[in-house]
Protein backbone atom coordinates (compact mmCIF):
# COMPACT_ATOMS: atom_id res chain seq x y z
CA UNK A 1 0.00 0.00 0.00
CA UNK A 2 1.32 3.42 -0.95
CA UNK A 3 1.33 6.55 1.22
CA UNK A 4 0.46 7.07 4.87
CA UNK A 5 -2.30 5.01 6.48
CA UNK A 6 -5.71 6.72 6.68
CA UNK A 7 -6.09 8.60 9.98
CA UNK A 8 -9.14 8.20 12.25
CA UNK A 9 -11.87 10.73 11.49
CA UNK A 10 -12.31 13.64 13.86
CA UNK A 11 -15.79 12.24 14.58
CA UNK A 12 -14.12 9.09 15.97
CA UNK A 13 -11.90 11.09 18.34
CA UNK A 14 -14.39 13.50 19.98
CA UNK A 15 -14.20 14.08 23.74
CA UNK A 16 -16.86 11.84 25.37
CA UNK A 17 -19.07 14.81 26.27
CA UNK A 18 -19.17 15.93 22.62
CA UNK A 19 -19.85 12.35 21.50
CA UNK A 20 -22.80 12.07 23.90
CA UNK A 21 -24.15 15.38 22.63
CA UNK A 22 -23.84 14.11 19.05
CA UNK A 23 -25.59 10.82 19.94
CA UNK A 24 -28.40 12.68 21.72
CA UNK A 25 -28.98 14.90 18.67
CA UNK A 26 -28.94 11.95 16.25
CA UNK A 27 -31.22 9.85 18.49
CA UNK A 28 -33.75 12.69 18.72
CA UNK A 29 -33.68 13.05 14.93
CA UNK A 30 -34.17 9.30 14.51
CA UNK A 31 -37.07 9.01 16.95
CA UNK A 32 -38.74 12.08 15.44
CA UNK A 33 -38.39 10.58 11.95
CA UNK A 34 -39.87 7.23 13.09
CA UNK A 35 -42.75 8.42 15.20
CA UNK A 36 -45.99 8.37 13.23
CA UNK A 37 -44.37 6.79 10.17
CA UNK A 38 -42.81 3.54 11.36
CA UNK A 39 -45.79 1.57 12.72
CA UNK A 40 -43.72 -0.97 14.68
CA UNK A 41 -41.68 1.64 16.55
CA UNK A 42 -44.52 4.14 16.94
CA UNK A 43 -46.43 1.46 18.83
CA UNK A 44 -43.42 0.45 20.92
CA UNK A 45 -42.50 4.03 21.86
CA UNK A 46 -46.11 4.90 22.72
CA UNK A 47 -46.55 1.71 24.76
CA UNK A 48 -43.41 2.62 26.74
CA UNK A 49 -44.70 6.18 27.29
CA UNK A 50 -41.58 7.74 25.70
CA UNK A 51 -41.78 11.52 25.16
CA UNK A 52 -39.15 12.37 22.55
CA UNK A 53 -38.95 16.09 23.37
CA UNK A 54 -38.16 15.55 27.06
CA UNK A 55 -35.86 12.52 26.72
CA UNK A 56 -32.66 13.05 28.71
CA UNK A 57 -29.55 11.37 27.35
CA UNK A 58 -27.86 9.13 28.24
CA UNK A 59 -29.83 8.81 31.51
CA UNK A 60 -33.13 7.94 29.80
CA UNK A 61 -31.66 5.48 27.29
CA UNK A 62 -32.90 2.60 29.44
CA UNK A 63 -36.45 3.94 29.18
CA UNK A 64 -36.44 3.16 25.47
CA UNK A 65 -37.95 -0.28 24.88
CA UNK A 66 -35.67 -3.20 23.93
CA UNK A 67 -36.21 -4.92 20.58
CA UNK A 68 -35.72 -8.66 20.08
CA UNK A 69 -35.30 -10.75 16.95
CA UNK A 70 -38.35 -12.82 17.98
CA UNK A 71 -40.45 -9.67 18.10
CA UNK A 72 -39.41 -8.66 14.59
CA UNK A 73 -40.03 -12.21 13.31
CA UNK A 74 -43.51 -12.22 14.87
CA UNK A 75 -44.21 -8.82 13.27
CA UNK A 76 -43.20 -10.21 9.86
CA UNK A 77 -45.40 -13.28 10.44
CA UNK A 78 -48.35 -11.08 11.35
CA UNK A 79 -47.85 -8.71 8.37
CA UNK A 80 -46.06 -10.79 5.72
CA UNK A 81 -43.68 -10.54 4.09
CA UNK A 82 -42.04 -7.34 5.36
CA UNK A 83 -43.65 -6.59 8.73
CA UNK A 84 -44.29 -3.03 9.90
CA UNK A 85 -40.85 -1.81 11.07
CA UNK A 86 -40.33 0.42 8.03
CA UNK A 87 -40.24 4.20 7.95
CA UNK A 88 -40.60 4.79 4.21
CA UNK A 89 -43.30 3.72 1.71
CA UNK A 90 -42.43 0.20 0.47
CA UNK A 91 -41.78 1.29 -3.11
CA UNK A 92 -38.66 3.20 -1.96
CA UNK A 93 -36.87 -0.01 -0.89
CA UNK A 94 -34.21 -1.30 -3.29
CA UNK A 95 -32.16 -3.99 -1.45
CA UNK A 96 -33.24 -7.31 0.04
CA UNK A 97 -31.23 -9.37 2.53
CA UNK A 98 -32.02 -11.97 5.13
CA UNK A 99 -30.40 -13.29 8.26
CA UNK A 100 -28.76 -16.71 8.07
CA UNK A 101 -30.20 -18.06 11.29
CA UNK A 102 -30.25 -21.83 11.56
CA UNK A 103 -32.61 -21.62 14.51
CA UNK A 104 -36.05 -20.46 13.39
CA UNK A 105 -36.73 -18.84 10.05
CA UNK A 106 -34.61 -15.98 8.76
CA UNK A 107 -35.61 -12.34 9.18
CA UNK A 108 -36.20 -10.46 5.93
CA UNK A 109 -34.46 -7.08 5.85
CA UNK A 110 -34.92 -4.38 3.21
CA UNK A 111 -33.13 -1.07 2.66
CA UNK A 112 -33.67 2.08 0.63
CA UNK A 113 -30.82 3.62 -1.36
CA UNK A 114 -30.31 6.05 1.54
CA UNK A 115 -30.24 3.45 4.30
CA UNK A 116 -27.94 1.23 2.22
CA UNK A 117 -25.57 4.16 1.69
CA UNK A 118 -25.43 4.62 5.44
CA UNK A 119 -24.45 0.92 5.80
CA UNK A 120 -21.68 1.46 3.22
CA UNK A 121 -20.41 4.54 5.05
CA UNK A 122 -20.15 2.43 8.21
CA UNK A 123 -18.09 -0.15 6.28
CA UNK A 124 -15.75 2.65 5.18
CA UNK A 125 -14.96 3.16 8.88
CA UNK A 126 -13.90 -0.52 8.98
CA UNK A 127 -11.62 -0.02 5.97
CA UNK A 128 -10.15 3.15 7.47
CA UNK A 129 -9.31 1.30 10.68
CA UNK A 130 -7.85 -1.60 8.66
CA UNK A 131 -5.73 0.87 6.62
CA UNK A 132 -7.36 -0.17 3.35
CA UNK A 133 -7.31 2.52 0.64
CA UNK A 134 -8.17 2.97 -3.02
CA UNK A 135 -4.73 1.57 -3.84
CA UNK A 136 -5.83 -1.85 -2.56
CA UNK A 137 -7.29 -4.80 -4.41
CA UNK A 138 -9.87 -6.70 -2.34
CA UNK A 139 -10.87 -10.32 -2.94
CA UNK A 140 -14.10 -11.75 -1.48
CA UNK A 141 -14.00 -15.59 -1.42
CA UNK A 142 -17.60 -15.74 -0.32
CA UNK A 143 -20.83 -17.15 -1.78
CA UNK A 144 -22.82 -13.98 -2.47
CA UNK A 145 -26.39 -15.05 -1.65
CA UNK A 146 -29.23 -13.26 0.14
CA UNK A 147 -27.14 -12.91 3.32
CA UNK A 148 -25.98 -9.35 3.80
CA UNK A 149 -22.55 -10.86 4.33
CA UNK A 150 -19.93 -9.04 2.36
CA UNK A 151 -22.26 -7.25 -0.10
CA UNK A 152 -21.82 -4.09 1.95
CA UNK A 153 -18.04 -4.56 2.16
CA UNK A 154 -17.92 -5.05 -1.61
CA UNK A 155 -19.92 -1.91 -2.45
CA UNK A 156 -18.05 0.18 0.15
CA UNK A 157 -14.73 -1.11 -1.19
CA UNK A 158 -15.52 0.04 -4.70
CA UNK A 159 -16.71 3.42 -3.36
CA UNK A 160 -13.33 4.05 -1.71
CA UNK A 161 -11.72 3.28 -5.06
CA UNK A 162 -10.33 -0.22 -4.41
CA UNK A 163 -10.67 -2.91 -7.08
CA UNK A 164 -13.19 -5.43 -5.70
CA UNK A 165 -13.13 -9.02 -6.94
CA UNK A 166 -16.13 -11.28 -6.16
CA UNK A 167 -15.37 -14.95 -5.45
CA UNK A 168 -18.88 -16.42 -5.28
CA UNK A 169 -20.00 -19.63 -6.99
CA UNK A 170 -16.57 -21.25 -7.24
CA UNK A 171 -14.61 -24.02 -5.56
CA UNK A 172 -11.76 -23.32 -3.15
CA UNK A 173 -9.31 -24.50 -5.82
CA UNK A 174 -10.72 -22.05 -8.39
CA UNK A 175 -10.60 -19.27 -5.81
CA UNK A 176 -6.92 -19.99 -5.20
CA UNK A 177 -6.27 -19.76 -8.94
CA UNK A 178 -8.12 -16.42 -9.08
CA UNK A 179 -6.09 -15.24 -6.10
CA UNK A 180 -2.93 -16.10 -8.01
CA UNK A 181 -4.15 -14.23 -11.11
CA UNK A 182 -5.51 -10.98 -9.64
CA UNK A 183 -2.98 -10.77 -6.76
CA UNK A 184 -5.22 -9.02 -4.18
CA UNK A 185 -3.68 -7.18 -1.21
CA UNK A 186 -6.75 -7.71 1.01
CA UNK A 187 -9.06 -10.69 1.52
CA UNK A 188 -12.48 -10.50 3.25
CA UNK A 189 -14.01 -13.78 4.50
CA UNK A 190 -15.07 -15.69 7.60
CA UNK A 191 -12.26 -16.88 9.91
CA UNK A 192 -13.31 -20.46 9.23
CA UNK A 193 -12.93 -19.98 5.51
CA UNK A 194 -9.58 -18.21 5.86
CA UNK A 195 -8.33 -21.37 7.56
CA UNK A 196 -10.03 -23.62 5.01
CA UNK A 197 -8.40 -21.84 2.03
CA UNK A 198 -5.07 -22.18 3.80
CA UNK A 199 -5.68 -25.92 4.17
CA UNK A 200 -6.60 -26.34 0.48
CA UNK A 201 -3.57 -24.29 -0.58
CA UNK A 202 -1.23 -26.41 1.52
CA UNK A 203 -2.71 -29.63 0.11
CA UNK A 204 -1.96 -28.41 -3.42
CA UNK A 205 1.56 -27.30 -2.51
CA UNK A 206 0.85 -23.54 -2.68
CA UNK A 207 2.20 -21.11 -0.07
CA UNK A 208 -0.28 -18.33 0.70
CA UNK A 209 2.22 -16.64 3.00
CA UNK A 210 4.46 -15.98 -0.01
CA UNK A 211 1.55 -14.43 -1.96
CA UNK A 212 0.24 -10.89 -2.41
CA UNK A 213 -2.20 -10.68 0.53
CA UNK A 214 -1.10 -8.39 3.39
CA UNK A 215 -4.40 -8.20 5.26
CA UNK A 216 -7.30 -10.57 6.00
CA UNK A 217 -10.50 -8.91 7.28
CA UNK A 218 -12.61 -11.55 8.98
CA UNK A 219 -16.24 -11.40 10.09
CA UNK A 220 -19.24 -13.61 10.71
CA UNK A 221 -17.84 -15.58 13.65
CA UNK A 222 -15.92 -14.67 16.80
CA UNK A 223 -12.69 -16.38 15.57
CA UNK A 224 -10.95 -13.16 14.54
CA UNK A 225 -10.61 -12.12 18.17
CA UNK A 226 -9.64 -15.57 19.52
CA UNK A 227 -5.83 -15.24 19.83
CA UNK A 228 -5.04 -18.83 18.78
CA UNK A 229 -7.34 -18.67 15.75
CA UNK A 230 -6.02 -15.33 14.52
CA UNK A 231 -2.43 -16.50 15.00
CA UNK A 232 -3.18 -19.53 12.84
CA UNK A 233 -4.71 -17.35 10.09
CA UNK A 234 -1.88 -14.81 10.26
CA UNK A 235 0.76 -17.55 10.01
CA UNK A 236 -1.00 -19.32 7.14
CA UNK A 237 -1.50 -16.16 5.11
CA UNK A 238 1.60 -14.24 6.16
CA UNK A 239 -0.85 -11.36 6.68
CA UNK A 240 -2.33 -9.21 9.42
CA UNK A 241 -5.83 -10.15 10.61
CA UNK A 242 -8.39 -7.43 11.37
CA UNK A 243 -11.63 -8.56 12.98
CA UNK A 244 -15.00 -6.99 12.23
CA UNK A 245 -18.48 -7.61 13.55
CA UNK A 246 -21.92 -6.66 12.36
CA UNK A 247 -25.46 -7.97 12.02
CA UNK A 248 -27.88 -7.86 9.10
CA UNK A 249 -30.49 -6.09 11.21
CA UNK A 250 -28.03 -3.60 12.68
CA UNK A 251 -25.23 -2.89 10.20
CA UNK A 252 -21.42 -2.89 10.46
CA UNK A 253 -21.09 -2.03 14.15
CA UNK A 254 -17.47 -2.56 15.03
CA UNK A 255 -13.92 -2.94 13.82
CA UNK A 256 -10.68 -4.07 15.36
CA UNK A 257 -8.16 -1.42 16.30
CA UNK A 258 -4.89 -1.60 14.38
CA UNK A 259 -2.99 -0.28 17.40
CA UNK A 260 -4.76 -2.40 20.03
CA UNK A 261 -5.25 -5.87 18.49
CA UNK A 262 -7.89 -8.05 20.12
CA UNK A 263 -10.29 -5.17 20.88
CA UNK A 264 -13.20 -4.10 18.69
CA UNK A 265 -14.10 -0.41 18.54
CA UNK A 266 -17.85 0.22 18.48
CA UNK A 267 -18.56 2.94 15.91
CA UNK A 268 -20.36 5.17 18.40
CA UNK A 269 -20.66 8.00 15.89
CA UNK A 270 -23.32 5.92 14.15
CA UNK A 271 -24.47 3.45 16.82
CA UNK A 272 -25.42 3.74 20.48
CA UNK A 273 -24.19 0.75 22.49
CA UNK A 274 -25.47 -0.26 25.90
CA UNK A 275 -24.87 -3.50 27.77
CA UNK A 276 -27.43 -5.47 29.77
CA UNK A 277 -27.60 -8.63 31.83
CA UNK A 278 -28.83 -11.23 29.27
CA UNK A 279 -31.18 -12.80 31.83
CA UNK A 280 -32.58 -9.89 33.88
CA UNK A 281 -32.20 -7.14 31.24
CA UNK A 282 -30.69 -4.82 33.89
CA UNK A 283 -27.96 -2.37 32.76
CA UNK A 284 -24.40 -3.62 33.23
CA UNK A 285 -21.59 -1.11 34.02
CA UNK A 286 -18.58 -0.67 31.72
CA UNK A 287 -15.93 -3.32 32.36
CA UNK A 288 -18.44 -6.06 33.18
CA UNK A 289 -19.63 -8.67 30.67
CA UNK A 290 -23.15 -8.58 29.32
CA UNK A 291 -25.26 -8.59 26.19
CA UNK A 292 -24.57 -5.86 23.63
CA UNK A 293 -27.63 -3.74 22.81
CA UNK A 294 -27.47 -1.52 19.72
CA UNK A 295 -29.40 1.44 18.38
CA UNK A 296 -28.37 2.36 14.83
CA UNK A 297 -28.63 6.07 14.21
CA UNK A 298 -28.57 6.42 10.44
CA UNK A 299 -30.50 3.51 8.92
CA UNK A 300 -33.70 5.50 9.24
CA UNK A 301 -35.71 3.52 6.66
CA UNK A 302 -35.20 0.18 8.50
CA UNK A 303 -33.86 1.01 11.96
CA UNK A 304 -33.49 -0.91 15.19
CA UNK A 305 -33.83 0.66 18.62
CA UNK A 306 -32.09 -0.99 21.57
CA UNK A 307 -31.75 -4.25 19.65
CA UNK A 308 -30.64 -7.26 21.66
CA UNK A 309 -27.72 -8.67 19.63
CA UNK A 310 -27.25 -11.77 21.86
CA UNK A 311 -23.51 -11.02 21.60
CA UNK A 312 -21.67 -11.06 24.90
CA UNK A 313 -19.09 -8.29 25.30
CA UNK A 314 -17.08 -6.35 27.86
CA UNK A 315 -17.02 -2.63 26.99
CA UNK A 316 -14.47 -0.03 28.04
CA UNK A 317 -14.78 3.64 27.23
CA UNK A 318 -11.29 4.97 27.91
CA UNK A 319 -9.56 6.71 24.97
CA UNK A 320 -7.50 4.31 22.84
CA UNK A 321 -3.87 4.76 21.81
CA UNK A 322 -5.06 5.08 18.18
CA UNK A 323 -6.67 8.41 19.12
CA UNK A 324 -10.24 7.15 18.95
CA UNK A 325 -12.49 7.80 21.93
CA UNK A 326 -15.00 5.14 20.78
CA UNK A 327 -15.89 2.33 23.18
CA UNK A 328 -13.84 -0.89 22.87
CA UNK A 329 -15.14 -4.44 23.24
CA UNK A 330 -12.20 -6.14 24.97
CA UNK A 331 -11.44 -9.53 23.43
CA UNK A 332 -14.03 -8.90 20.69
CA UNK A 333 -17.30 -10.83 20.81
CA UNK A 334 -16.71 -13.14 23.76
CA UNK A 335 -19.58 -15.49 22.92
CA UNK A 336 -23.21 -15.68 21.85
CA UNK A 337 -25.72 -15.66 24.71
CA UNK A 338 -27.65 -18.53 23.07
CA UNK A 339 -24.62 -20.75 22.64
CA UNK A 340 -23.85 -21.47 26.26
CA UNK A 341 -24.39 -25.03 27.42
CA UNK A 342 -24.10 -26.36 30.91
CA UNK A 343 -22.06 -29.55 31.14
CA UNK A 344 -21.79 -31.21 34.55
CA UNK A 345 -22.40 -27.87 36.24
CA UNK A 346 -19.81 -25.99 34.16
CA UNK A 347 -20.98 -23.27 31.73
CA UNK A 348 -19.25 -23.78 28.38
CA UNK A 349 -19.16 -21.49 25.35
CA UNK A 350 -18.07 -22.73 21.90
CA UNK A 351 -15.49 -19.90 21.80
CA UNK A 352 -13.78 -21.35 24.90
CA UNK A 353 -13.39 -24.71 23.16
CA UNK A 354 -12.14 -23.03 19.98
CA UNK A 355 -9.61 -20.96 21.93
CA UNK A 356 -8.03 -24.20 23.16
CA UNK A 357 -8.25 -26.35 20.04
CA UNK A 358 -6.77 -23.69 17.74
CA UNK A 359 -3.61 -23.63 19.84
CA UNK A 360 -2.72 -26.92 18.14
CA UNK A 361 -1.58 -26.26 14.57
CA UNK A 362 -1.86 -29.99 13.80
CA UNK A 363 -5.67 -29.74 14.15
CA UNK A 364 -7.19 -28.79 10.78
CA UNK A 365 -10.85 -29.24 11.78
CA UNK A 366 -12.82 -30.22 14.85
CA UNK A 367 -16.32 -30.84 16.13
CA UNK A 368 -17.65 -30.80 19.68
CA UNK A 369 -20.80 -32.66 20.57
CA UNK A 370 -22.86 -32.02 23.66
CA UNK A 371 -25.02 -34.94 24.66
CA UNK A 372 -28.10 -33.93 26.63
CA UNK A 373 -29.34 -37.49 27.09
CA UNK A 374 -28.59 -37.49 30.78
CA UNK A 375 -29.33 -34.68 33.18
CA UNK A 376 -25.69 -33.65 33.66
CA UNK A 377 -24.91 -33.45 29.92
CA UNK A 378 -21.56 -34.47 28.50
CA UNK A 379 -19.14 -32.99 25.99
CA UNK A 380 -16.98 -34.90 23.51
CA UNK A 381 -14.53 -33.64 20.93
CA UNK A 382 -13.42 -34.98 17.55
CA UNK A 383 -10.28 -33.55 15.94
CA UNK A 384 -9.07 -34.02 12.42
CA UNK A 385 -5.32 -33.72 12.07
CA UNK A 386 -3.08 -32.60 9.21
CA UNK A 387 -2.12 -35.50 6.96
CA UNK A 388 1.52 -35.18 7.98
CA UNK A 389 0.79 -35.08 11.72
CA UNK A 390 2.79 -37.63 13.69
CA UNK A 391 1.73 -39.56 16.77
CA UNK A 392 -1.93 -38.58 16.52
CA UNK A 393 -2.72 -40.22 19.84
CA UNK A 394 -0.31 -37.91 21.66
CA UNK A 395 -1.90 -34.84 20.04
CA UNK A 396 -5.36 -35.97 21.22
CA UNK A 397 -4.01 -36.43 24.73
CA UNK A 398 -2.47 -32.95 24.76
CA UNK A 399 -5.72 -31.37 23.48
CA UNK A 400 -7.68 -33.17 26.24
CA UNK A 401 -5.19 -31.97 28.84
CA UNK A 402 -5.39 -28.35 27.61
CA UNK A 403 -9.20 -28.49 27.68
CA UNK A 404 -9.15 -29.81 31.23
CA UNK A 405 -6.92 -26.91 32.29
CA UNK A 406 -8.94 -24.26 30.43
CA UNK A 407 -12.55 -25.26 31.06
CA UNK A 408 -12.20 -27.59 34.04
CA UNK A 409 -13.74 -30.63 32.39
CA UNK A 410 -12.42 -34.00 31.29
CA UNK A 411 -13.43 -34.18 27.65
CA UNK A 412 -12.86 -37.34 25.60
CA UNK A 413 -10.95 -36.44 22.41
CA UNK A 414 -11.20 -38.74 19.39
CA UNK A 415 -9.06 -38.45 16.26
CA UNK A 416 -11.28 -38.43 13.15
CA UNK A 417 -10.05 -39.80 9.81
CA UNK A 418 -8.75 -37.21 7.28
CA UNK A 419 -11.47 -35.30 5.38
CA UNK A 420 -14.34 -36.75 7.41
CA UNK A 421 -15.43 -33.72 9.45
CA UNK A 422 -17.60 -31.14 7.67
CA UNK A 423 -15.96 -27.99 6.23
CA UNK A 424 -17.71 -24.62 6.21
CA UNK A 425 -17.61 -21.52 4.08
CA UNK A 426 -20.08 -19.12 5.66
CA UNK A 427 -20.58 -20.03 9.28
CA UNK A 428 -19.03 -22.96 11.04
CA UNK A 429 -21.29 -25.31 12.99
CA UNK A 430 -18.76 -27.09 15.11
CA UNK A 431 -20.87 -27.16 18.23
CA UNK A 432 -23.49 -29.88 17.93
CA UNK A 433 -26.03 -30.55 20.63
CA UNK A 434 -27.17 -34.17 20.94
CA UNK A 435 -25.94 -34.91 17.41
CA UNK A 436 -29.09 -33.19 16.15
CA UNK A 437 -29.82 -29.55 16.84
CA UNK A 438 -27.04 -27.33 15.51
CA UNK A 439 -25.87 -24.16 17.16
CA UNK A 440 -24.63 -21.04 15.49
CA UNK A 441 -21.33 -19.57 16.48
CA UNK A 442 -22.24 -16.03 15.49
CA UNK A 443 -24.33 -13.93 13.18
CA UNK A 444 -23.26 -13.07 9.67
CA UNK A 445 -21.38 -9.88 8.98
ZN1 LIG B 1 -8.03 2.13 18.89
Q: What is the pLDDT of residues 40-94, one digit of tens each?
A: 999 999 999 999 999 999 999 999 999 999 999 999 999 999 999 999 999 999 9
Residue 1, pLDDT > 50, answer: no
Cα 319 to ligand 1 centroid, rounded to whole Å? 8
Q: Which of 142-151, 232-241, 267-276, 323-332 has the lowest mean pLDDT?
A: 142-151
What's the confidence (pLDDT) of residue 341?
A: 81
Cα 274 to ligand 1 centroid, rounded to whole Å? 19
Residue 379, pLDDT > 70, answer: yes
* pLDDT band of 434, cuts 50, 70, 90: low
* pLDDT band of 431, cuts 50, 70, 90: confident
Q: Provide the β-strand partners of residue 293.
A: 274, 308
Measured over the CA atoms of residue 66, residue 69, residue 70 and residue 71, the dihedral's sign is positive
CB 309, CB 293: distance < 8 Å: yes
Cα 6 to ligand 1 centroid, rounded to whole Å? 13
Any residues with CB less than 8 A from the CB of 368 and at least 6 apart, and which?
A: 350, 353, 379, 380, 381, 382, 411, 430, 431, 432
Any residues with CB less than 8 A from the CB of 79 and at least 6 apart, and which?
A: none
Cα 255 to ligand 1 centroid, rounded to whole Å? 9
Cα 326 to ligand 1 centroid, rounded to whole Å? 8
CB 191, CB 236: distance < 8 Å: no
Cα 128 to ligand 1 centroid, rounded to whole Å? 12
Cα 225 to ligand 1 centroid, rounded to whole Å? 15
CB 153, CB 188: distance < 8 Å: yes
Per the model's pLDDT, the better-predicted residue between 4 and 355 turns out to be: 355
Mean pLDDT of 174-193: 96
Residue 272, pLDDT > 60, answer: yes
Task: State what percent of residues in the chain have pLDDT above 90.
Answer: 74
* pLDDT band of 437, cuts 50, 70, 90: very low
Tell which residue, 55, 228, 144, 62, has the closest CA to residue 426.
144
What's the confidence (pLDDT) of residue 200?
A: 93
Cβ neighbours, 10 Å, residue 421: 15
Cα 150 to ligand 1 centroid, rounded to whole Å? 23
Cα 249 to ligand 1 centroid, rounded to whole Å? 25
Cα 359 to ligand 1 centroid, rounded to whole Å? 26
Residue 104, pLDDT > 90, answer: no
Q: Is beta strand 251-256 parallel, antiparallel or unpaired with respect to 240-247?
A: antiparallel
Cα 323 to ligand 1 centroid, rounded to whole Å? 6
Cα 315 to ligand 1 centroid, rounded to whole Å? 13
Measured over the CA atoms of residue 131, residue 23, residue 308 and residue 313, the dihedral's sign is positive
Cα 238 to ligand 1 centroid, rounded to whole Å? 23
Q: How many residues does the chain have?
A: 445
Coil, helix or strand at residue 20:
helix
Residue 432, pLDDT > 90, answer: no
Residue 438, pLDDT > 60, answer: no
What's the confidence (pLDDT) of residue 426?
A: 65
Element (H, E) at 216: strand 215-218
Cα 18 to ligand 1 centroid, rounded to whole Å? 18
Residue 326, pLDDT > 80, answer: yes
Cα 253 to ligand 1 centroid, rounded to whole Å? 15
Question: How does the average pLDDT of the chain come out, rounded?
Answer: 91
Cα distance between residue 170 and residue 264, in whole Å: 31
What's the confidence (pLDDT) of residue 442?
A: 34
Cα 329 to ligand 1 centroid, rounded to whole Å? 11
For residue 311, the Cα-to-chain-centroid distance in whole angstroms is 9
Q: Specify burial of residue 442 (Cβ count, 10 A radius: 0-12, 13-18, 19+).
A: buried
* pLDDT band of 223, cuts 50, 70, 90: confident
Cα 83 to ligand 1 centroid, rounded to whole Å? 38
Give the global pTM.
Answer: 0.87
Cα 189 to ligand 1 centroid, rounded to whole Å? 22
CB 83, CB 304: distance < 8 Å: no
Q: Specify burial of residue 22 (Cβ count, 10 A radius: 0-12, 13-18, 19+).
A: middle
Q: Provide the β-strand partners of residue 109.
A: 97
* pLDDT band of 373, cuts 50, 70, 90: confident
Cα 125 to ligand 1 centroid, rounded to whole Å? 12
Cα 264 to ligand 1 centroid, rounded to whole Å? 8
Residue 436, pLDDT > 60, answer: no
Cα distance between residue 294 and residue 268, in whole Å: 10
What's the confidence (pLDDT) of residue 3?
A: 62
Cis peptide before 81 (omega within 30 of 0): yes
Amino acid sequence: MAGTPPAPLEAECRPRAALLEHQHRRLTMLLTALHGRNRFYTRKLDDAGVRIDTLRFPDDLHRLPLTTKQELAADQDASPPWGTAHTEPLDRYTRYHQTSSTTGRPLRWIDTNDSWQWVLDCWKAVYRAARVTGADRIFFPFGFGPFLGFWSAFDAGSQIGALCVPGGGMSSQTRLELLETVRPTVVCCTPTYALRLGEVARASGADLAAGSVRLVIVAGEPGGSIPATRALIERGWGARVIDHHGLTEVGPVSFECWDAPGALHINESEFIADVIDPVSGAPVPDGDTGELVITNLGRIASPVIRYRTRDIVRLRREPCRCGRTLASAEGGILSRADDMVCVRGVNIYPTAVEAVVRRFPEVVEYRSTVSTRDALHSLALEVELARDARDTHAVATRVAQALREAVGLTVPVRVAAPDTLPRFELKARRFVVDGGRKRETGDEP
